[in-house]
Structure 1
Amino acid sequence: MKKFLLQAERNLISGALVLLPLLVFFILLGKVWKFFQNYGEKFAHFLRLDLILGKYATDIVGGMILVVLIYLSGFLMRLSILKRFTNWVDEKLMIFLPGYEKNKKEAEEKLLKRNHEPKPVTDLPILFKNGDFWQPAHLIEEDENGSAVIFIPNAPAKDQGQILIVKSTDFKKLSDTTLGSLDASIKSFGKGILSFK
């Protein structure tokens, strides 16, 4: 009976961890869509589209405003100030929304496959072999000759540290670990690193 209760508890916790990011995503999506529907309704009424298309005019015009805004944002992303701001927002979302980084990476991979662009190897969590011990680090770049550029952060700051050029045999990739998890561990002076894989 005790084993069954432990298993049930684990399943409930795992289920909550899976559903929580989805729930947050759909709540945010609903709020964003409602925002664009409000403006879509105003524009549809102004252009008299609501007389032609009826209640669907709000959704159509709201969707068109959203698409135009996304398209214009693509041009704005070329500005370095906006790109830094977007990266800052990404970092905060990785901390406060569980599963955000994983979902973002999956979306980027799908876009890269659609555009037939090879995915660059940038900023992956690794453990660097330094003598008899291992250090958490970021894999920045890797080439075919077996050389790699890595960044070793100084705890607790994740954006200050050393840049080293090493051999690919001197580190192991943490394929099941996200950068957000690694950075959070570095901020807390290594707490949780032993469970990284």
Structure 2
Amino acid sequence: MKRFLLQVERNCISGALVLLPILVFFVLLEKVWKFFQNYGEKFAHFLRLDLFLGKYATDIAGGIILLVLVYLSGFVMRLAFLKHFAEWMDEKLMIFLPGYEKNKKEAEERLLKRDSKPKPVTDLPILLKNGNFWQPAHLIEEDQNGGAVVFVPNAPAKDQGQILIVSSSDIKKLSETTLGNLDNSIKSFGKGILSFK
């Protein structure tokens, strides 16, 4: 009986950890949609769309405003200041919203899959074999002949270090780890690297 209760407790905790990011994502999505619906209603009324589209005018106008805003945001993101601000916001959201980083990564992967042309590997977190130990590094580039260019940062500075040309067999890709997490670990002298995969 005790074993069964322990199993139930473990399953409940695992289920909560899976559902929490999804729940947070949908709550945020609902709040964002209500915000655009509010302005969509005013916009639809102003253009008299509600006379012939009825209750759907609010949703259609809100969706159009959201699409225009997304398009303009992508255009404005080319400005360096806004790009730095968006990266800063991303870092804060990763700290305060569980599952944000995973959901963002999945969304980026889905968007990148639409590109038919394969993109070259650039700046991925890896471990580099150096004798009997492994060093955290960035994979900059790989070629067809089994060679790789890596950047090995000097802790705690993530953007100072050495550029090395190594064999691809001496690197271990951390596919489930983001570059931001690796850099944060390097800043704190390797704290947390053992849990990276």
TM-score (norm: length of structure 2): 0.84
CA change 1:77–1:190 in 2 (3 A) is same
Distance (Å, rounded) in 2 between the aligned partners of 1:88 and 1:160: 17
CA change 1:143–1:85 in 2 (3 A) is farther
Quote the offset at 1:130 in angstroms: 2.4
In structure 1, what is the equivalent of residue 36 of structure 2?
A: 36
Task: Show the 5 A alignment for 1:14-163.
Answer: 14-156=14-156, 159-163=158-162
> Which residue type is aligned with residue 54 of structure 2?
G
Is the 1:41–1:62 contact (alpha carbons within 8 Å) kept by the matching residues of 2? yes
> Which residue type is aligned with residue 86 of structure 1?
A
Q: How many residues align?
A: 196
> Which residue type is aligned with residue 169 of structure 1?
S
Structure 2 unaligned spans of 5+: none
> Which residue type is aligned with residue 27 of structure 1?
V
Is the 1:94–1:180 contact (alpha carbons within 8 Å) kept by the matching residues of 2? no
Which deviates further from its counterpart, 58-67 or 112-121? 112-121
SS at match of 1:141: strand
CA change 1:123–1:2 in 2 (3 A) is farther
Is the 1:149–1:163 contact (alpha carbons within 8 Å) kept by the matching residues of 2? no
TM-score (norm: length of structure 1): 0.84
Distance (Å, rounded) in 2 between the aligned partners of 1:38 and 1:26: 18
In structure 2, what is the equivalent of residue 192 of structure 1?
A: 192
Is the 2:152–2:164 contact (alpha carbons within 8 Å) kept by the matching residues of 1? no
Distance (Å, rounded) in 2 between the aligned partners of 1:169 and 1:106: 28
Is the 1:49–1:57 contact (alpha carbons within 8 Å) kept by the matching residues of 2? yes
> Which residue type is aligned with residue 174 of structure 2?
L
Give the aligned CA root-mean-square deviation in angstroms.
2.3
- Residues 129-180 of structure 1 show CA distances to partners (whole Å, capped at 9, x for unaligned) of 22322122222322223332333344455x3331422312222112333445
> Which residue type is aligned with residue 20 of structure 2?
L
Is the 2:121–2:140 contact (alpha carbons within 8 Å) kept by the matching residues of 1? yes
Quote the offset at 1:25 in angstroms: 0.8
Distance (Å, rounded) in 1 between the aligned partners of 2:190 and 2:105: 24
> Which residue type is aligned with residue 89 of structure 1?
M
Distance (Å, rounded) in 2 between the aligned partners of 1:185 and 1:105: 19
SS at match of 2:34: helix
Alignment pair present for 1:166 and 2:165: yes
> Which residue type is aligned with residue 161 of structure 2?
Q
Quote the offset at 1:32 in angstroms: 0.8
